[in-house]
Amino acid sequence: MDHRQLLKTLSETFGLSGFEDQVREIIRDMVSPLADDIRTDALGNLIVTLNPGRDFVLMLDAHMDEIGFMVSHIDQEGFLRFTPIGSWDDRLLGALRVTVRNREGRTIPGTVGSTPPHIQDPDEKKAPLKTEDLFIDVGAATAEQIEQMGIRKGDPIVPWGDFLALEGNCLMGKAFDDRAGCAVLIRVLEAFAETPPDFTLAACFSVCEEVGLRGAKTAAFQIQPTVALAVEGTVAADTPGTPDRKIPSRMGKGPAITLADRSILVHPKLARFIEQTAIDAGIPHQIKTPLYGATDAGAIHLAGAGALTGVISIPCRYIHSPNIIMSVEDFDNTIRLVLEVSRRSQRILDRA
């Protein structure tokens, strides 16, 4: 399938942290013909290996999970109370459309509700929204109707986000953090299936990044990479009102190369190698402004005896919202850069 269909399929799939099963099965179906070995570990990471058994092991990582919510309480009047899973900006929650998935796999649409401003006093209107004051309305009138829908405490919830093609060769949808990274790994696996690497390549589609880099930690312990790359969707804040010094990356300027963030200080040898590879291959790129964000690289580089680990990211505006915007050109160039760095990865060890 083409880029748009691939990204649409991954974006629209339900995959809250800890509930990545649907995403994993879709990716498994896509990559199984490309793999020498494919397995799902105890936490739910999907590990796809090409050319196993070599001394040099390159690990590529992209996380499958997205942020969302979990049902925490059911009111007698049929409203759902919820708790965030992952990092949310409370200002985005009012009138947010959502999808609840019950334990039988049925999905139920709803919306986040709050007290209408028409009946609030002036002080209430000025006060910021608080999660504890919000609720989800799925159209039920009683707790009994909620029970009939099969909704129970602990059921997962994700935002509803329509996938749209925009002008300027841009796409909009939910969960590009990090389904766009997953799509990059799929394209890289496709390329290496045609021309197999002379090293071991382990592509990990990991779980539970949004709640603490959990899946990548155990996956890296199993893979024991020599070199690793986390492929992410990162913050593009090139929007009105943001000072230049606070813009981590800009959309349309190519993949963002991380030097440092809150989870890792990328070894200068690897950071220089990634940047020089982009220059040599003529790939547009940018340096991500430190020290914003954290990625699976933070867990991977500390696993076992440690591994040289870097981060290559696709700039995404309005990240951690249901309306993320991403440039198709940035996506293409991220595939190119990850593929070129992967092909040359054994040379990293030769650098001083």
Residues taking part in catalysis: 209
Burial of 144 (0-12, 13-18, 19+ CB in 10 A): exposed
- On whether the CB atoms of residues 314 and 184 are closer than 8 A, the answer is yes
Cα separation, 335 vs 255, whole angstroms: 9
Element at 80 (helix H, strand E): strand 80-85
Supply 329's token pair: 């050109």
Cα separation, 259 vs 288, whole angstroms: 7
> Which residue carries 């399929």 as its tokens?
9
> Which residue carries 């440690």 as its tokens?
306
Q: Which of 196, 230, 241 is nearest to 334 (CA)?
A: 230
Cα separation, 348 vs 135, whole angstroms: 51
Supply 274's token pair: 């990634």
* Cα dihedral 242/247/251/252 (nearest 10): 110
Q: Parallel, antiparallel, or unpaired for β 97-101 and 156-159?
A: antiparallel
Q: Distance between alpha carbon 341 and the CA centroid of its chain, in Å? A: 21
- Alpha helices of the chain — where are they, by DSSP H? 3-12, 21-31, 122-126, 143-148, 176-194, 214-223, 268-280, 297-300, 328-343
Angle at which helices 176-194 and 328-343 pack, to 10 degrees? Answer: 50
